[in-house]
Amino acid sequence: MATSNGGGDVVLEVKGLRTYFVTKWGVVKAVDGVDFNLHRGETLGIVGESGCGKSVTMLSIMRLVPSPPGHIVGGEILLEGEDILQIDGSEMQRVRGGQIALLLQDPMTALNPVFDMEDQVGEALRIHKKLTGRALRDQVVEMLRRVRIPAPDVRMKDYPHQLSGGMRQRVVGAIGISCDPLILIADEPTTSLDATIQAQYLRLLKDLQQETGVAIIFITHDFGIVAHMCDRVAVMYAGRIVEQGDVRQIFNNPSHPYTEALINSVPKMEEKMERLYSIPGQPPALWDLPKGCSFAPRCPYVHDRCHEAYPEVFEVQDGQTAACWLREPQAAARSV
């Protein structure tokens, strides 16, 4: 399990972020009041089922939410203290790739099939570092070497279809780190990789982080990857963060029923089971959220208050919080 290396300077603070989509069904509250921070050199995992708002949160940070129908309607995104929701488009272009880089989950759609690797890795270097000619080629070779592409001076002339899936994902990583960003957002980058290549790629990301000090936000639905990669974890459900804390805290003491259910869904090799655990029911429609706690219809511990009001965020222990009424007595007992 990963151990925390956080505690450095805060490079990113997200406060009350709300991103809504206006559709024919109604207003989809894809991100509805998200708060978290990220420290230099730290890996934060954001985990949850598909449709819980993980990717929209990251697109909001990059200001890449398609509009219409999407709109960032509230909150702050502070990059080293500056609210990047308030800067103009040209300034935001310097942030993207230069200070915050995004690794997408499918390298075949992230890479352009008509340009070779030299052009694609070199694009960000031309824009942000103003490199040209021999200096640019040398830096492209160096970036490919850092992500362990063999014979990079030769392979940089290859096109995406000439590379394996693992090699393409490494090239996407080379593009991401090429301009020494403060933050690297990895949106399920191992989804298309087999287990062996996935493990190699995760190790590569860890090595790059140790070399550069980059902070990583790792989006996934796999708690196994969270245990291996992350220092802290934020659990999302229906557009909100329902629990966050140190990885060891979350695994040893899951304090929201949804977190507990996600962890129980991870197969345990040492246990014999006739049937794997699955969370009953389905996530709610984000344009028609139930009154009270969004997880209440699926929660085994539900009680009347859960249907009446959305729970406050309670501190479970130092650094660990959960938005669940079950934690209210614990919080009250500590305050006495």
pLDDT band at 257 (very low <50, low <70, confident <90, very high): very high
pLDDT at 238 over 90: yes
Measured distance CA(10)–CA(216) in Å, rounded: 12
Q: At what angle do helices 165-177 and 133-146 cross, to 10 degrees?
A: 120
pLDDT at 108 over 60: yes
Please report the pLDDT score of residue 290 as a whole number: 87
Question: Which of the given ranges, 118-132, 189-203, 270-284, 318-332, has the highest pLDDT on average?
Answer: 118-132
Give me the mean pLDDT over the 227-247 stretch.
94
Look up residue 278 and give its two tokens.
């699955």
pLDDT at 336 over 50: no
Measured distance CA(336)–CA(332) in Å, rounded: 7
Weakest mean pLDDT among 79-88, 111-120, 188-197, 319-328: 188-197
pLDDT at 4 over 70: no
Q: Mean of the per-residue pLDDT values for the chain?
A: 88
Q: Identify the H or E element spanning 225.
A: helix 223-229
Q: Which residues contact 304 (CB under 8 A, 6 or more apart)?
A: none
Please report the pLDDT score of residue 32 as a whole number: 94
The amino acid occupying position 107 is P
pLDDT at 250 over 60: yes
pLDDT band at 330 (very low <50, low <70, confident <90, very high): low
Weakest mean pLDDT among 50-54, 249-253, 268-272: 268-272
Give me the mean pLDDT over the 122-146 stretch.
92
pLDDT at 331 over 60: no
Question: Which of the given ranges, 9-13, 264-268, 287-291, has the highest pLDDT on average?
Answer: 9-13
What residue spans of 81-151 are helical by DSSP H?
89-95, 107-110, 117-128, 133-146
pLDDT band at 234 (very low <50, low <70, confident <90, very high): very high
CB under 8 Å, gap of 24 or more: what pairs does 23-27 form?
Answer: 23/69, 23/287, 25/285, 25/287, 25/288, 26/287, 26/288, 27/287
Please report the pLDDT score of residue 8 as a whole number: 63
CA 98 to chain centre: 18
Please report the pLDDT score of residue 332 as a whole number: 46
Weakest mean pLDDT among 19-28, 179-188, 195-204, 207-216: 195-204
pLDDT at 334 over 70: no
Please report the pLDDT score of residue 3 as a whole number: 44
pLDDT at 1 over 80: no
Could you write out the DSSP letters of every residue in 31-100? EEEEEEEEETT-EEEEE-STTSSHHHHHHHHTT---TTTEEEEEEEEEETTEETTSS-HHHHHHHBTTTE
Q: Which residues pair with 14 in a beta bridge?
A: 36, 77
Please report the pLDDT score of residue 246 as a whole number: 94
CATH: 3.40.50.300, 3.10.450.50, 3.40.30.10, 3.40.50.2020. Which one for 10-99+181-276?
Answer: 3.40.50.300
Q: Residue 250's CB: how many other CB atoms inside 10 A?
A: 30
With vertex at residue 246, the alpha carbon angle to CA 80 and CA 197, rounded to the nearest 5 degrees, is 90
Give the 3-state secondary structure of residue 186: strand
CA distances, 9 to each of 137, 151, 186, 216, 251 (Å): 34, 37, 21, 14, 25
Give the 3-state secondary structure of residue 101: strand
Q: Which residues pair with 18 in a beta bridge?
A: 32, 74
Q: Are 245 and 232 in contact (CB under 8 A)?
A: yes
pLDDT band at 97 (very low <50, low <70, confident <90, very high): confident
Structural domain boundaries in the chain: 10-99+181-276, 109-177
Give me the mean pLDDT over the 158-181 stretch.
89
Weakest mean pLDDT among 3-12, 155-164, 293-302: 3-12
Q: Are 235 and 34 in contact (CB under 8 A)?
A: no
Please report the pLDDT score of residue 62 as a whole number: 94
